[in-house]
Chain A
Amino acid sequence: MKSLRIGTGAGFSGDRIEPAVDLAARGELDYLVFECLAERTIALAQQARRADPEAGYDPLLERRMRAVLPARGANGPRIVSNMGAANPLAAARKTQEIARELGLRGLKIAAVTGDDVLAAVEGSQLELLETGGTVRGLGRPLLSANAYIGAAPIVAALEAGADIVLTGRAADPALYLAPLVHAFGWAMDDWPLLGRGTLVGHLMECGGQITGGYFADPGFKDVADLARLGFPIAEVEADGSAIITKLAGTGGAVTEATCKEQLLYEVHDPAAYLQPDVIADFSGVEIAAEGPDRVRISGGSGRARTGTLKVSLGYVDSHVGEGQISYAGPGAEARGRLALEILRERIAKGPVPYLETRGELIGVDAILGGSSSGAHEAREVRVRFAARASTAEDARLVADEVESLYLNGPAAGGGVTRQVREIVGILSTLIPETEVSPALTLMES
């Protein structure tokens, strides 16, 4: 069988749209995959769904579909995406509505549900992976509990003829593995093949991060035309080996170096990349350039899956208030430090018992902890002061303290910004895969 061409249409929820349109129109793709869900995103999406039962899917779904569906034409690539977020059914209904408006009739749209395991997890004795203790012991209501589901329900949707598959919390690489399993008829217990398919998914899931995005370092790693960065294409063989490439005429670069950086991105033990379908093994991977913007990936493997699924839990943790103010010219750093001293004293002697505070000078010690300061005096600094509080109201008082430095602090401070944000904490637990039952709903435009 010929190789399968899969393109990446998005590597995160806010990603650029026109590279996906370009791929849909002239990529000669079999599949276009949009990965749009971060750990925190699904908890926020659950909050949105509680406020509005037809909300809770990706906020850019509508814009993406309106741009991509006309570009893909009648026989364009099939689309797989986790843009369903907390509400795949509503996402599918919205997509159906958009397709009809665009005059695209007869598109089969599938929603994959069943990743929402809140009812089973809330108040349970399941152990929290990061902190120890149990879900019940957390003592806070959960906003969301979503299991990372694997490729199988997506494969079922493709076998049912879906042109567009919308999931919630599917594992990112599974969005890519599923089309490979479907096209090549891979068995769901052929661990080396599932490992290689997962490898392809892992390399592709962050979009531009393998085509020269998040890579350029002028003078060391130069990348041409980043403003027109092309998103990646994988040409995958039936044995799971692949070429990573991109469309001619787009910006960026696919090189051995871009592929190596992405291979290890967010990986811990390269021999044990835990996924719902397989434990993928990247330790023997070989990466070799075959031509301009064409890199061959081989040597991936895998072994039997664990039988448990990771569940991402969202909860309201706290509120953080933050204020910033700038100082410039001679003595800027000294005035910035004086501002921080004033803030620390006011917070310490004030009425609110903050849970945690952090003060720093952006440009001096905010990122590198002061390890590089002292080399020369900064001519402009930005004071940043943040504090964690139980309530939004208390958090706001911190930001107000920074603003009050205008009239009451060191000389010539300017450009105050203030921010208060609700902190959605994320923790994880594991549940047996047998306790999660994905389901499929098909509709037609």
Chain B
Amino acid sequence: MLLRDIAHSRTGDKGNISNVSVIAYEMANWPLIEAEVTPERLRAHLAWLEIGEIERFALPRLGALNFVLHGALKGGVTRSLALDAHGKCLSSALLDMEIAGPA
């Protein structure tokens, strides 16, 4: 299944740093999300961004992860030549990740 089936997400931006949340719809799926959505998998899934350091913060009470993606915005919101300079579309791109769900 896709991450989109069990989680929702929003992207924020500050300078050249993007943050992406991953939030479980149901707390029952939180352990799966916590186990599957690792910085390594995120880096591979969004490879074209050539992200620098990736930090991951867990908020178990909310069933949520927060990823901080350093250097992900091609120079930052004000300078980037990218069409989506804010990286606003990244949340939807991340939800397209394949998750090893229960069979």
Contact = CB atoms under 8 A, between A and B. Distances in A.
Contacts of B55: 268-269
A287 B8 contact: no
B43 interface: no
B83 A220 contact: no
B43 to A, nearest CB: 13
Given A260-B62, A426-B76, A265 B12 contact: yes
Given A270-B66, A367-B93, A130 B76 contact: yes
A260 B83 contact: no
B76 A260 contact: no
Contacts of B21: 260-261, 264-265
Contacts of B57: 269-271, 283
Given A270-B57, A369-B49, A264 B82 contact: no
Interface footprint category on B: 35 or more
B67 to A, nearest CB: 10
Contacts of A384: 83
B100 interface: no
Given A317-B79, A384-B83, A423-B79, A264 B64 contact: yes
A424 B78 CA distance: 7
Interface in A373-405: 384, 386-388
Interface string B47-68: 1110000010101011010101
Contact of B66 (A264, A284, A318): A264
B89 interface: yes
B81 A283 contact: no
Interface residues of A, number: 52
Contact of A425 (B23, B79, B92, B96): B79
B12 A264 contact: yes
A120 interface: no
A264 B10 contact: yes
Contacts, number: 114
B62 A220 contact: no
Given A265-B10, A388-B81, A285 B61 contact: yes
A423 B83 CA distance: 15
A367 B78 contact: no
A5 B103 CA distance: 48
A283 B23 contact: no
Interface of B: 4, 8-10, 12-17, 19, 21, 23, 25, 47-49, 55, 57, 59, 61-62, 64, 66, 68, 76-79, 81-84, 89, 92-93, 96
Interface of A: 39-40, 130, 214-215, 217, 220-221, 257, 260-271, 282-287, 299, 317-318, 320, 356-358, 360, 362, 366-372, 384, 386-388, 423-426, 428
Given A265-B21, A267-B66, A271-B57, 13 more contacts: A257-B23, A257-B25, A261-B10, A261-B23, A264-B12, A265-B19, A267-B12, A270-B66, A299-B61, A317-B78, A368-B93, A372-B96, A425-B79
28 contacts: A214-B10, A220-B8, A257-B23, A260-B23, A261-B8, A261-B9, A264-B19, A264-B59, A266-B12, A266-B14, A267-B19, A268-B14, A271-B57, A282-B59, A283-B57, A283-B59, A285-B59, A286-B61, A286-B62, A317-B78, A362-B83, A367-B83, A367-B89, A367-B93, A368-B48, A371-B48, A388-B81, A423-B78
